[in-house]
A and B are shown apart, each in its own frame.
Chain A
Amino acid sequence: MTVYESDLPGVGKKHEIELDGDERLVVVTHNTGKREVFRRVDEASDAEKLFELSDGLARTVGTVLEGAYFQPVATENIDTVLGDDALIEWYEVPENSELAGETIEAADVRRRTGASIIAVEHGDEVTPNPDPGAGVRAGDTVVVIGSRSEVDSFQATFIDSGGGNGVDGDVVDGSGDGGN
């Protein structure tokens, strides 16, 4: 499968996606964010317009097509399409976590793991984009964004490694090792 990209000065961008045989799907992304989706049966035929989507709707439909649509936190919509090496993860904070009863700042989440907490869910109450001074309690759900290794590091530091577990020595913390 080949995807052709071209500029449409004054209009936006055009992507042509090869489907089976000669058929192509054409997506015109306007500078305004509007997407128009066309189909061309073969090289010679004219584009036939299938549908049109607003910017926000197009992104939502895109995540559904990608198989990545999920919405555990009641935010408005999912605006960011993440690349290969970035993900958002949800964790329930266990009793013995270093994070429980601390503020995000005091636990030094960002510096220690590289990952950032982008939302805290306490019961029914969701705090998106919490202040560094916001407190996290055991049983809260935190939403974390970062690269795969940063999120893994967050999990190792604040979720899995409860207080005083005895594992030492051969587990290297941080990123880089581990095959999967």
Chain B
Amino acid sequence: MAAGSTAAGELHGLLALGVLIAAATLVAAAGRRVGIPTVPLYVLGGVLVGPHVAGAVGLPSIAPAEVLTLAEVGVVLLLFFLGLEFSIDRLIAARKKLSTAAAVDLFVNFPVGVVLGLLFGLGPLGAFLVGGIVYISSSAVITKSLVDLGWIADPEAEPVLGVLVAEDLVIAVYLALAVALVAGGSPVDALPRIAVALGFLIALALAAQFLAPWLAPYLGTSDEDLVVRTLAVALVISGLALSVGASEAVAGFFVGVGVGATPLHDRVADRIAPLRDAFAVVFFAWVGLNTDPVAVAGVAAFVLVAAALSGPAKVVSGGIAGRLYGLSPRRSLRTGLALVPRGEFSLIIAALAATSPDPTIARLIPAFAVGYVLVMSFAGTLAMSEADRIERLVGVTDG
């Protein structure tokens, strides 16, 4: 408890939540005018009213624990939506083109992060986490940019969205593994715990595939029933996942997969989207509450080196994906540029890292992730809107 931070005290309950959301949305509104994507701005809003900024200057601040549960709901709903849009059939149908593109995406970008993590002395687990943060592109930022810029009607939309779908599956497996690894302990002690957690997730995946279509009618027919019951199922299952040491996010993903395979898909997507938007903001802002700007400044060199290496790496891997889809050099370059933004999933990995018993990992990686997401989401969005100029610069202009 730092001296001075107790003078004005902490905000609690409803007021804490209200102030947090208000701060997040105000910063987002300000940033939107200059074209910065909203995800990192929500984080910034949280930083401002958190203990490290508002608290440090003696203003009323919000303790992260105050909104933890609602932030967790945000994570579950973010992954629930990924699952909802994820289709095993679609993945199988596109496997020829997609599996190579997805493999290039994974085997180019993940190692870049791992090398960076090792280079900055974070150890094997730290490197594994940085690998995930650097690997995973932001579905939210990228999809929005595709629609805003009208690229959604151009041929590059297919490899871009295809790679994002493949990443969804990789991140589900990755998070399941990462939760077990971060929990720590000696590998032998951890084995039963990892077995239980993986068993739970495998059972859930099977249930999503085989039981969900059969259970779907019980989600109700009225909109009210549909929203409330879907939420109940998602929260009970993800809560159970947490209690057996599995990832609540991955559980949310599989609940989404289950619902997505039923005819309810469109209506659920339509009705739950506003809930996801609201709770996701709480999650992003909660990440901000945990962030000390001084710590982010402390890893600035790390962030810049990571951005300088991982940005071009995505352009290369995305470019290869474009070529595999038979696109021209110019459109392949655009595919690469579109995949540069990182966002919500990097922050989910950061939130996981913050729970590590290893103080170096718990402190450095979240600070790195926040700085990195801020830089990459902005740089990536800028790269997309300036694609014409970049094409001329690189000399790939066809047509």
* Residues on A facing B (Cβ under 8 Å): 6-11, 14, 26, 28, 31-32, 36, 38, 40, 42-49
Contacts and interface: CB of A to CB of B under 8 A. Distances in A.
B328 A11 contact: no
Contacts of A49: 150, 153
A8 B90 contact: no
B266 interface: yes
B209 interface: no
B153 A9 contact: no
Contact of B150 (A11, A14, A47): A47
24 contacts: A6-B158, A7-B90, A7-B161, A8-B152, A8-B161, A9-B90, A10-B161, A11-B143, A11-B147, A11-B152, A11-B157, A28-B152, A31-B269, A32-B270, A36-B153, A38-B150, A38-B153, A40-B154, A43-B399, A44-B328, A46-B154, A47-B150, A48-B150, A49-B153
A14 B399 contact: no
B153 A14 contact: yes
Contacts of A32: 270
Contacts of A31: 266, 269-270
A48 B165 CA distance: 26
Given A31-B270, A32-B270, A10 B143 contact: yes
Contact of A26 (B153, B162, B330, B399): B153
Given A32-B270, A47-B153, 6 more contacts: A7-B90, A10-B139, A10-B164, A36-B152, A44-B398, A49-B150
Contacts, number: 61
Nearest to A43: B399
Most buried by A among B139, B152, B270: B152
A36 B148 CA distance: 11
Contacts of A7: 90, 161
Contact of B154 (A9, A11, A47): A47
A31 B158 CA distance: 16
Q: Give the size category of B's interface with A.
A: 20 to 34
Interface in B154-187: 154, 157-158, 161-162, 164-165
Interface string B243-279: 0000000000000000000000010011000000000
Given A10-B139, A31-B269, A31-B270, A46 B150 contact: yes
Contacts of A47: 150-151, 153-154
B117 to A, nearest CB: 29
Interface in B19-34: none
Nearest to B91: A9
A26 B158 CA distance: 14
B85 interface: yes
Contacts of A8: 152, 157-158, 161
Contacts of B328: 44
6 cross-chain pairs, A with B, having the tightest CB-CB distances, nearest first: A44-B399, A47-B153, A38-B153, A26-B153, A10-B85, A9-B165
A159 B12 CA distance: 73
B98 to A, nearest CB: 11
A157 to B, nearest CB: 34
B335 to A, nearest CB: 14
Contacts of A45: 399
B146 interface: yes
Given A9-B90, A44-B399, A49-B150, A14 B157 contact: yes
B310 to A, nearest CB: 23
Contacts of B86: 9
B115 to A, nearest CB: 30
A15 to B, nearest CB: 10
B161 A9 contact: yes
Contacts of B398: 44
A47 B143 CA distance: 16
B153 A40 contact: yes
Nearest to B158: A6
A2 to B, nearest CB: 15
Interface in B83-108: 85-87, 90
A46 B161 CA distance: 18
B342 to A, nearest CB: 17
